[in-house]
Structure 1
Amino acid sequence: MTPDTSGHASTGTPFDSLVTVGLEQTSTVDRVVEELRRAVFEGELESGTPLREVALAESLGVSRPTVREALTLLVSEGLAIREPHRGVAVATPDPESIGDVSRARCVLELAGVRGWREATDADKKAVRTALEEYAAAVAGSASYEELNRRHLAIHLAFVGLTGSPRLVAMGASAHAELRLALAQVERARRNASDQVAAHQLLVDLLEADKVDQAAAELRRHLADGEAAILERLGLHPDQ
């Protein structure tokens, strides 16, 4: 193997582009997970890319057990899948699951939006704060991972308007299943500023007490998001 510029052996794999970071022993696994998660959300590791322990260990300058533990965490997050006799690979969003999760997400978020008038001031403030943090992330040219997280935080705040921790937990689970697909759409669209405006409209309608209009706008917004995901996967929304 030919040494690369970081001093580690080059493997000629997709992981050569990953940046070797200074890893402290106490947080090595977390840092590896952070680097791999970033690479997935930035599109450096596409859906279906095999995540080979040896190649990753050499590229990141860590041990194979460390990589193995990091991959287990990525699988638990739904960003990677483990297949018998084939190892671990970056997850590929499943169209049927996307449709089912999108329906569940719509029910939960609409329940929150329709409960705006009865929601606590704290839950309403959480919606405004989530929007402000998303707008700041967009203005600050944050990573796709950060944008994705801030984007979904707004939608989870909508669920929070129900005042039900159980429904919020269900919403968080649904959003976790959509994170990878939504990140791919956001990279393709590159329209984060438009997304800020769309979410601002939703919040403006709620604060103007136009709850029915806000619910209708949210339903359209979520339907457009699902259609964009399916299009990104090469499918028509009706398939």
Structure 2
Amino acid sequence: MTFETLSIEPATTMDRVTDELRRALFAGELDPGTPLREVALAESLNVARSTVREALGALVAEGLADRVPHKGTVVRELDRAAIVDVCRARLVLESAGVRSWVDAPAEARDAVRAALAEFARLAAAQPGTSRDRSEPTLAELTAAHLAIHRGIVALTGSERLLATADSLYAEIRLALANVDRIRRNAAEQVTSHTRLVELLEAEDTDATLAELTDHLAGAQRSMLETLGQDDSQNDGPE
């Protein structure tokens, strides 16, 4: 692979290289499992190998790439078992957040509301929905989407649970971005998340948990579909 679609300005920094690689990943120009060869990337981007090496390290730290023995750095690739397991773990963590809503401090509840408002703002700026705002990147949309769920886990007040959630979200960022890139349905996602937050506001824990279960099951189905697999097996997050 020669990475012809990648380009940066001359004399770039490591951050610029990282930004360009991140852009290519979220744009779907580099498929899951693609080896990220230092030499080929350095030549395509006209930078030193050491700069590429640092940029790849940053992508690994973000959960967008993996170091694989004897293969080097590759674009993160999730299989069916990993997606199912992550969704199950998310349900446990986010359910704990839902149960904590009533007793959570006002700042934590406000953070969930603010995350939803930001996601709605970015979704409204997608092509065809507004001519007055710049188009958000898929990375921004995915981050805003996951910020809502992170806020729900944060309701527990547990830094350890939040750290675990961050690790899970890092694993699925690219998979979710692929779903968003294919479906372009951010407005529908806003409606779905608004419903979830409205149930939290109503302090209807049972209904919120049911909605969350359906929501995460839908996310699992969507991610599996991007792998060309169905979700017919009864192994969803429930």
Aligned counterpart, 2:225: 231
Q: Given the alignment, which residue of 21, 29, 32 partners 2:9?
A: 21
Query: CA–CA distance in 2 between the matches of 1:33 and 1:84?
Result: 22
Corresponding position of 2:117: 132
**Structure 1 residue 38: deviation in Å?**
1.3
Instruction: Summarize deviations over 1:142-175 as a string: whole Å, max 9, x none.
Output: 1111111110000000001111111111111111
> Which has the larger displacement, 132-141 or 85-94?
85-94
What is residue 34 of structure 2 aligned with on the other side? Answer: 49
Residues 87-126 of structure 1: matches in 2 within 5 Å? 87-126=72-111
Greater helix content: 1
CA contact (8 A) 1:82 1:89 kept: yes
- Which string of whole-angstrom CA distances, capped at 9 and with x for unpartnered residues, describes residues 104-137 of structure 1? 1100001101221111100000000000111111
Residue in 2 that maps onto 1:200: 194
Please give the alpha-carbon distance, in whole angstroms, between the structure 1 residues aligned to 2:94 and 2:189: 17
Match of 1:118, SS state, is coil
TM-score, L = length of structure 2 = 0.88
Match of 1:187 among 181, 187, 200: 181
Larger radius of gyration: 1
Q: Distance in 1 between matches of 2:58 and 2:79?
A: 20
Query: Counterpart of 1:170 in structure 2: which amino acid?
Result: T
TM-score if structure 1 supplies the norm length? Answer: 0.88
Q: Is the 8 A contact 1:159 1:167 kept in 2?
A: yes
Q: Map of 1:208-219 to 2, 5 A cutoff?
A: 208-219=202-213
Contact 1:20–1:59 under 8 Å retained in 2:
no
Identity within the alignment, %: 54
Higher relative contact order (CA 8 A, sep 6+): 2
Partner Cα distance (1:87, 1:170) in 2: 26
Alpha-carbon distance in 1 for matches of 2:82, 2:68: 18
Counterpart amino acid of residue 218 in structure 1: L
SS at the partner of 1:17? coil
Partner Cα distance (1:145, 1:22) in 2: 24
Tell me the distance in 1 between the aligned counterparts of 2:77 and 2:59. Answer: 13
Q: Which residue of 1 aligns with 2:20?
A: 35
8 Å contact 2:26–2:138 — kept in the other structure? yes
- Structure 1 residue 215 displacement after superposition: 1.4
Pick the aligned partner of 2:167 from 173, 177, 195. 173
Task: Report how far residue 23 of structure 1 moved.
Answer: 4.9
RMSD between superposed Cα atoms in Å = 1.7
Q: Point out the more displaced range, 146-155 or 55-64.
A: 55-64
How far, CA to CA, are the matches of 1:22 and 1:215 in structure 2? 51
Supply the distance in 2 between the matched residues of 1:46 and 1:120 (Cα, whole angstroms): 42
Residues 29 and 67 of structure 1 are in contact (CA less than 8 Å); yes or no, is this contact kept in structure 2? Answer: yes
Distance 1:83 1:178 in 2: 18
Aligned to 1:74: 59
Distance 1:86 1:93 in 2: 17
2:144 to 142, 150, 154: 150
- Write out aligned runs for 1:57-72 (5 A): 57-72=42-57
Q: Secondary structure at the match of 1:16?
A: coil
| 2-structure distance, mates of 1:55, 1:90 | 15
